[in-house]
Chain A
Amino acid sequence: MASFWAKVPQAPKDPILGITEKFLADEDPCKMNLGVGAYRTDQGKPVVLDCVREAEKRIAGNFNMEYLPIGGLKEFNDLSVKLAYGDECAAIAEARVASIQTLSGTGSCRLMADFMHKFAPDATVYIPSPTWANHHNIWRDANVAQTSFRYYKPSTRGLDFEGMIEDIQTAPSGSFFLLHACAHNPTGVDPTSEQWSEISAVMKEKGHFPFFDMAYQGFASGDCVHDARAIRIFLDDGHQLGCSQSYAKNMGLYGQRVGCFSIVCSDSEEASAVESQMKAIARPMYSNPPVYGARIVTTVLGDEELKELWYKEVKGMADRIIHMRTLLRENLEGIGSSLPWNHVTDQIGMFCFSGLTPEQVDELANDHHIYMTRNGRISMAGVTSGTVGRLAEAMHKVTSG
């Protein structure tokens, strides 16, 4: 009997997570995985933060596993929005922030996309070019029209600020804009504070809705407040924005799937209504979010000492990455590459948008057992002082042919 599913084709491998699969299949002992953005120590090992281990000890045996409410752990949501918007944020004090615990950054973005589909079905989401590949999947699966706005300028390997402003201005009033709050993925190119202010002003003029995807707060510069400055600028300018937060990288809680989705509303009644609708979308998707990771975050952020420890540890991770960038650039320039490599240290966050072509990326994988995504994005978090030399050599080889 023919299968129901005989005509179902194989789905293409996920461009990011599929790299890890290829890496795992490679038997070369010196192979390097610079694909997925997961932090590694200088010994190339995954790390669980000390503040997290301590939080786990405090949690162990002290809680039951009952369902969380649909909106998740309230304390978690309160601490998260304070982290994003600032302890003194007026909107929080005035109970104007609708918030819900989510399945990390992906889950937050998906809720925003589904929210748009339900309540602004004719709107288009403007997504920066390029962006994290999964953004496209999320808004497409939510049946929301998407288009792109200029962001990255390959010729300078920096921000196409003029192009970006122009596209914001020409978009129909009331469009939705997806913005990376800091450490843009995949390019590592962020606007300056002055540029953020200009972006905010133009968006205000056009009545656009800003949605910030903040997956790297603390991880970019090492300073949580500094990394959230774009959001704070927008809030000061009176935007009623949306925000997705992830604790995957900055607290190393990758597999725990912890995040927060929030929207700043005009008053508390509206916030309550919006929050109720967020829950109405979540209930038929997963009913209520996983508890374990949220308890960890709540324990860490809710304790002064643990929070201070966390700040130190996240700065430590950011500093190591900045150091790797420096070493990579030094190595490339040192072995005599004639190409410009300043972008390696100009860019910020986990990723270096190297400028390598897909063919060069393939050569790195096939000939050098070094894996990265085909857009030339290198996860600097996967580089160590022991491997940076080999990486530089290999990059030089494939770019000087």
Chain B
Amino acid sequence: MAHMMTNNAVKPVAHIKLSSRAQSAKALRVKPAKGAKSFKCATVAGSFMEGTEQAPPDPILGVSDAFKASTSPDKLNLGVGAYRTEELQPYVLEVVKKAEAIMMEKAENKEYLPIDGLPAFKKCTAELLLGADSSIIAENKIATLQSLSGTGSLRIGAAYINAWLPGKTVYLSNPTWGNHKNIFADAGVEWKMYRYFDPETVGLDFAGMMEDIKGAPDGSIIVLHGCAHNPTGVDPTKEQWEEIASLCQEKGHLPFFDVAYQGFASGSLEEDAFAPRMFAEKGLEFLCSQSYSKNLGLYGERVGAINAVVNDAAVATRVASQMKRQARAMYSNPPVHGARIVSEVVGDEDMFNEWKAEMEMMSGRIKSVRGKLYDYLCEKMPEKDWSFVTRQIGMFSFTGLTPAQVENMTNKWEVYMTKDGRISLAGLSAAKAEYLADAIVDSIKNA
């Protein structure tokens, strides 16, 4: 299924093309002669940047751009995974507004955070992941760095892998979030894919997944979505997770969890952390990136963490020191605003409970809108099995639409979504559910 491979990798640009202007001056960037170390460049007439190719728009973030450009009153943005209210407005959590008001009162300074971030944030993020009573935390067997949301945390992890597990391959689910490939590639780490999504059942190809994880060389890195798999919404069951953990243990693999939706998938922080917590109980070492973009609505503040669960506290200290080195050369220290918000919220019992309630509300709205969409789809095209709509979990639904069908969705129906057939339910209102059902049915039948 070629279209499953969400390809937003930038076309590799190995050489800047020479314009005739540059050629008549001096060569801009010719492949140097063997042994030559010098780099010729255009003189006054030419430009260093001449011939730089336009990069393609990001396949996910580019959808929002296209949506903004459209003037149609019917347009619907089901591209990027950002939560919207029933009125299709962005949502700042009440508890976040409270936290910001408290922060304004406190009038704290804006000094640099340590390289590894706000200490209060690091403590609460580790506890959210593993549970406040985790023995791993008590025994200091975890290295935690505050980092730039999910992306930044993954990148630190990837850079760390490149430095300390050179030659190892990272295995990504097929399909996966489009940016995973770029993150590992830019960090110099080779990636391959393991089977994951079964278009026949519109569910998990568990046998294929296990076979591919087993077939990977011992000690490979396996990227796992902690919950609410992006883009498919298909998660392993608890029993399947246990089997995956055992297999990773057997093969000496290093799991790398991407936890971007804790609390957002089922509505429960504890439920959604089942997989990493169970791996930790079993004694596996693993890496884990966390993001507070969705569950606390802190998208633009870039708050997250990279964690390394390690079986020795002294080692954990050294791992942290090396991750700090990576961070220092990328951004020095992480942004303070979002981290303070998280610690305010989690550090106060009432606010923490309020947060949990708002998370339940957000995931509840998504479940409800899934239900409505499912009902309309069954009504309009009863011959197809639409059960995947309510079986899939989290923000996204993998519709199975082909690129041609997706084009129809956009061109005819002004529904903006990614080419891999992924729709963000977070961007759907109950009021537009029927319209979307019409669009999907039309695209399947006629495109």
The residues of A with any CB-CB pair to B shorter than 8 Å are 1, 3-11, 14, 17, 20-21, 36, 38, 46-48, 52-53, 56-57, 60-61, 64-70, 98, 103-104, 106-107, 110, 114, 118-120, 122-124, 134, 137-138, 140-141, 143, 172-175, 204, 207, 209, 238, 240, 248, 252-257, 263, 265-266, 270, 272-274, 276-277, 279-281, 283-293
Contact = CB atoms under 8 A, between A and B. Distances in A.
Contacts of A253: 110
Contacts of A140: 329
Contact of B300 (A10, A67, A281): A67
Given A290-B302, A293-B337, A280 B325 contact: no
B109 to A, nearest CB: 4
B329 A265 contact: no
B52 A106 contact: no
A3 B183 CA distance: 25
A241 B96 CA distance: 41
Given A67-B299, A273-B49, A287-B149, 12 more contacts: A5-B308, A8-B322, A21-B114, A48-B109, A67-B293, A70-B58, A120-B48, A124-B37, A253-B110, A274-B52, A285-B186, A286-B302
B16 interface: yes
Interface stretch (B270-278, B313-321, B407-415): B313-321
Interface in B306-341: 308, 310-312, 315, 317-319, 321-322, 324-326, 328-338
A273 B52 contact: yes
A256 B334 CA distance: 8
Nearest to B62: A70
Contacts of B329: 106, 110, 134, 137-138, 140-141
A240 B47 contact: yes
B302 A273 contact: no
B312 A6 contact: yes
A65 B92 contact: yes
Interface in B267-300: 283, 285, 293, 297-300
Contacts of B325: 11, 14, 137
Interface stretch (B38-46, B202-210, B366-374): B38-46
B331 A104 contact: yes
A290 B32 contact: no
A169 to B, nearest CB: 14
B431 interface: no
Contacts of B155: 284-286
B66 to A, nearest CB: 13
Contacts of A137: 325, 328-329
A209 B48 contact: yes
Contacts, number: 281
B165 A4 contact: yes
Interface string B187-230: 11000000000000000000000000000000100000000000
Nearest to B143: A5
Contacts of B390: none
Of the listed residues B26, B50, B97, B298, the one surrounded by the most CB atoms of chain A closer than 10 A to its CB is B50
Contacts of A287: 61, 148-152, 179, 302
12 contacts: A3-B311, A5-B315, A14-B115, A46-B109, A122-B29, A174-B41, A207-B44, A240-B48, A277-B13, A279-B55, A285-B148, A286-B148
B82 interface: yes
Nearest to B249: A1
A239 to B, nearest CB: 10
Contacts of B92: 64-65
Contact of A65 (B58, B151, B254, B299): B299
A70 B65 CA distance: 11
B300 A174 contact: no
A66 B182 contact: no
Contact of B40 (A17, A118, A173): A173
Given A284-B185, A286-B149, A273 B53 contact: yes
A320 to B, nearest CB: 17
Of the listed residues B37, B90, B107, B112, the one surrounded by the most CB atoms of chain A closer than 10 A to its CB is B112
A38 B111 contact: yes
A128 B335 CA distance: 29
B336 A106 contact: no
B29 A120 contact: yes
B110 A291 contact: no
A284 B47 CA distance: 27
B137 to A, nearest CB: 17
B300 A277 contact: no
Given A56-B104, A60-B104, A284-B183, A291 B301 contact: yes
A253 B186 CA distance: 29
Interface string B371-411: 00000000000000000000000000000000000000000
A14 B328 contact: yes
B113 A265 contact: no
B80 interface: yes
A172 B13 CA distance: 24
A224 to B, nearest CB: 20
